[in-house]
Structure 1
Amino acid sequence: MPHQVDEGLATTLKKVASTLKAASIPFALGGSFAVWAHGGHSSDHDVDFLLREQDKEQALAELAKAGFRTEQPPEDWLVKVYDQDRMVDLIYRPVETPVTDETLHDTEQISVEAIYMPVLSATQLMIHKLLSYSQHYCDFATGLPVARSLREQIDWDRVRRETRKSPYAEAFLILLDRLDVVPLPDGQGALAAQ
């Protein structure tokens, strides 16, 4: 895997994954560590796991038994656990969409720090990144390294389909075309240039 990661966070990631696996709680690695697991580059390094909302209480209980401090923040889309001062987000509704069995099947089994675990597909990671952009947060610098480093692994037709209602995603995809990272389908690039 090409980029260095924080060893403490990597250890915490392994502890969370092994605890969830031992408890048979379905999950997927997401966020920047998932990008890294696919061999890509991400501009931030935090630990995110996706799980179904119905599994969050069991996950918190199992992680508390394993020595993690747990927190239910006011946000209604995630819970948090701490390994000393290292935080892990357990996300059950990313980008306003519930995590389902289908979400958790859109993964690849990858050895991450010597533990095989389900890692969100590169395509789904890109979709989540694009749908996170809004009028309150639209930093394309976070998405460009992901798009560049994982472009061959991403189903760009699916990304365009699943993000078509977002003007921010549309702008990002036009930017990728203009930067010669990922071309728009024939005809769309010309329309965007007008």
Structure 2
Amino acid sequence: MSALESDLIETTKVVAVTLKKAHIPFALAGGYAVYARGGPPSIHDTDFFLREADVPRAIDALTEAGLKHESCPEDWLVKVFHDDRLVDLIHAANGRPVTDAMLERAEEVEVGSVRMPVLDASDILIGKLLALSAHHCNMSPLLAVARSLREQVDWGRVREETADSPYARAFLTLTDGLGITAPPEGQEGTQPVHEGVYAIAGSGVSHSSSTSEEESA
């Protein structure tokens, strides 16, 4: 693990402990939620989901703990910094507000030496699929996430909650063909892609000229 990854885990622990002490409901989200559930680590920032009504209290608690709050133009998150490491406090993602039900589905997982609620694997995939768009359509990293979390995901719920997104439908058709997911009942017959292609896709290697990254949440 790189020094940056270790520093981000330390930041994640500081934020989680602070929010727990303040009795603010939250869930670890984004790349470090994937990492906590067995996927590849994040090297960009750390994300937390919380309800919009709890954002002011969270800012107060974190600034008292020494983090710095900076204004941002987005109306669905706020940003705080632990030293120079970014923390996104997200109260809505891809048009979906963070709800009590979403936070209640989170599971306690040990991250570093701290146990904290981590976003449900299905909610992680739903959020990442809904982030796909004409401007953010690099599926290669998401294939690695789907492969690492596939046993933890309710794929039926994922299909249902992303059904309006043509990008999500395309991704799920791809994962069906790769053997990562099973096609819905009545749509069997898709032949898995050759194992060698599956290994390349699962590793996150992309042969596309596009290098745009997915949204975190």
Regarding TM over 0.5, the answer is yes
Distance, in Å, in 1 between the alignment partners of 2:126 and 2:182 is: 17
**C-alpha separation between the residues in 2 aligned to 1:144 and 1:75?**
28
Aligned to 2:29: 30
Q: Residue in 2 aligned with 1:84?
A: 83
Q: Which residue of 2 aligns with 1:49?
A: 48
Q: Secondary structure at the match of 2:117?
A: strand
Please report the TM-score for the alignment, with normalisation by the length of structure 1: 0.92
Distance across 2 between alignment mates of 1:143 and 1:98 = 22
Which residue of structure 2 aligns with residue 104 of structure 1?
103
Quick check: 2:27–2:106 contact (8 Å CA) kept in 1? Answer: yes
- Match of residue 154 from structure 2: 155
* SS state at 1:143 partner: helix
Structure 2 stretches lacking a partner, 5+ long: 191-217
Contact preservation (8 Å) 2:78, 2:88:
yes
Tell me how far 1:187 sits from its aligned partner.
3.1
> C-alpha displacement at 1:178, in angstroms?
1.4
Aligned to 2:212: none
Q: What is the rounded CA distance, in whole Å, between the counterparts of 2:189 and 2:112 in structure 1?
A: 44
Q: Deviations over 1:86-117 (max 9, x none)?
A: 00100000111111111101111111111111
Equivalent-residue separation in structure 1 for 2:44 and 2:65 (angstroms): 23
**1:169 maps to what in 2?**
168
5+ long unaligned stretches in structure 1: none
**Structure 2 vs 1, CA of residues 44 and 159 (structure 1 numbering), >3 Å: closer, same or farther?**
farther
Deviation per CA, 1:1-46: give whole Å up to 9, x if none.
Answer: xx77711111111110000000001100001100111112257542
Aligned to 2:64: 65
Q: Which amino acid aligns with 1:113?
A: G
Given the superposition, is the C-alpha separation of residues 118 and 43 from structure 1 closer, same or farther in structure 2, using an over 3 Å criterion?
Answer: closer
Give the letter aligned to residue 133 of structure 1: L
Shift in Å at residue 183 of structure 1? 2.0
Any conservation in 2 of the 1:43–1:145 contact (CA below 8 Å)?
no
Q: TM-score, normalised by structure 2?
A: 0.83
- Specify the SS of the correspondent of 2:156: helix
In the alignment of these two chains, the number of paired residues is 190
Whether 1:115 and 2:114 are equivalent positions in the alignment is: yes
Determine if contact 1:177/1:189 at 8 Å carries over to the other structure.
Answer: no
